[in-house]
Amino acid sequence: MLDHITEKVAAGADIDAKEALWCLTEGDLLAVGRLADSIRRSMHPEGCVSFVVDRNVNYTNVCESRCKFCAFYRDADAEDAYLLPTGEIMGKIEELVAQGGTQLLMQGGLHPSLDITYFEELFSLIKSRFPTVQNHSLSPAEVTHVAGLSGLSIHETLSRLKKAGLDSIPGGGAEILVDSVRQEISPKKIGWQGWAAVMREAARLGMPTTATMMFGSRERAEDVVEHLLRVRALQDEGGRFTAFIPWTYQPGNTELGGESASGVEYLKVLALSRIVLRNIRNVQASWVTQGAKMAQVALFFGANDLGGTMLEENVVAAAGCRFRMSREEMVELIRGAGFTPVRRTTLYRELERY
């Protein structure tokens, strides 16, 4: 099987579900890693590893979705429920800009009363005050929620948000794009078709997007494969995914509990992502969930990007995962693995080579 898959990979052909499943369940870690590494090197022959200086602003933790794997959400009447005042959001973006940041990732709960007007006003204000910052915000679940609250279609919602200053859409909330798994871990969240619909519409409107996968909760290996194939098909249909970002479920403080995926499982899924998703240019290592050591090792298992420096992150931190990394550490980490560090924009344009 390995020889067969190696041949296909060398010929630039897509591997199928059975082959992908074999990589995950029976393939040797280093053999699968080597396939991913060869694809990564042919797609990024210059030997660079990139990152973006960004900040996650979680505007509210009030969420009607109450996903079982999440430690971040609160009910509206909870003591520590919050909605950031606009002034505070602006202050955070100011800090981001002062530190040379280029990307703002606003993500929050599905708040019962924040409709399209709230986001239109907020995004216009952000664009007028910080025209150079890339507003990379609102995952498909939030977009769908805003559309529902405002009585608008996805098309109308995205068009209006785009007009107000939304530049691109992060791929969060994908979890596992298989509804049987979603039923178990996030029954109130949009199904996989709903996620796909927002990403299709965004692509039609010319908005770049990313795709994520949260694994290590309740899914089977077959579900991971299905997820990857669905993302690949969406991209083939005209998707505008700039990157794929697999990360592991963090069980701390969650209703779902249990354990996190191990290091070997993470690297295998990462490598398989690189192998399956040849039509997506970038694969990110998740230092936030894996720590710096594993993120560095991941650069040999298909990853060519380390995501953001994240001046602020609250969602994964709520689940007990508190890795931090400065820009200097990131540069050092990349160099230590023998690659050239590159600071980039959200859309992977090079800003600085170290």
Partner 1 sequence: MTFAAIAEKVRSGVRITEAEALLLFEHPDLLALGELAQAVNERLNGRRVFFNVNRHINHTNICVTRCRFCAFYRREGEPGAYLMTMDEIRGRAEEAAKEGATEIHVVGGLHPDLPFEFYLDLLSTIKAVSPDLHVKAFTAVEIAYLADLAKLSIPQTLERLKEAGLGSLPGGGAEIFAPDIRNQLCPEKVSGAEWLSIMEKVHQAGLKSNATMLYGHLEGIADRVDHMRQLRELQDKTGGFQVFIPLAFQPEHSQLKIGGTGTSGVDDLRTLAVSRIYLDNFANIKAYWVMLGEKIAQVSLAFGVNDLDGTVVEERIGHEAGADTPQTMSLDAIVAMIRKAGRIPVERDTLYRELRVFP
CB-based contact 301:33 (threshold 8 Å)? yes
Q: Bridge-partner residues for 50, per DSSP?
A: 305, 342
**Nearest approach, Cβ of 275 to partner 1 (angstroms)?**
14
Q: Residue 207 or residue 261: which is nearer to partner 1 going by CB?
A: 261
Residues 115-144 interacting with partner 1 (rule: CB under 8 A): none
Of 201, 57, 194, the residue nearest 123 (C-alpha) = 57
Q: Is residue 300 at the binding interface for partner 1, with CB under 8 A as the rule?
A: yes
Q: By CB under 8 A, which span of 10-18, 55-63, 275-283, 292-300 interacts with partner 1? A: 292-300
We find the least distance from the C-beta atom of residue 259 to partner 1, in angstroms, to be 8
* Residues in contact with partner 1, shown as a per-residue x/- string from 223 to 262 under the rule CB under 8 A: ---------------------------------------x
Pick the stretch among 97-105, 108-116, 230-238, 291-299 that binds partner 1 (CB under 8 A). 291-299
Q: How far apart are the first and last CA of the chain?
A: 41
Which region, judged by CB under 8 A, interacts with partner 1, from 15-23, 24-32, 59-67, 171-179?
24-32
Q: Is 258 exposed, middle or buried (0-12, 13-18, 19+ CB in 10 A)?
A: exposed
Q: Decide: is 295 part of the binding site for partner 1 (CB under 8 A).
A: yes
Nearer to partner 1, 239 or 302 (CB): 302
Helices 116-129 and 86-98, packing angle to 10 deg: 30
What is the secondary structure of 58-107 as a DSSP string?
--B-B-SS--TT-SS-B-TTSTT--B--HHHHHHHHHHHHHTT--EEEE-
Does 329 contact partner 1 by CB under 8 A? yes
Report yes or no: 248 and 260 within 8 Å, Cβ to Cβ.
yes
Residue 243 bridge partners (DSSP): 282
Q: Rule CB under 8 A: which of 29-58 touch partner 1?
A: 29-30, 33-34, 37
Q: Per the structure block, which two tokens stand in for 69? A: 């794997």
- Give the nearest distance from C-beta 3 to partner 1 in angstroms: 16
Q: Per rule CB under 8 A, is residue 64 in the interface with partner 1?
A: no
Q: Is 347 in the site for partner 1 (CB under 8 A)?
A: no
Angle at 313 between CA 310 and CA 314, to 5 degrees: 180
Both tokens of 350, joined, read 């090079």
17 binds partner 1 (CB under 8 A): no
Interface positions with partner 1 (CB under 8 A): 28-30, 33-34, 37, 262-267, 290-297, 299-300, 329, 332-333, 336-338
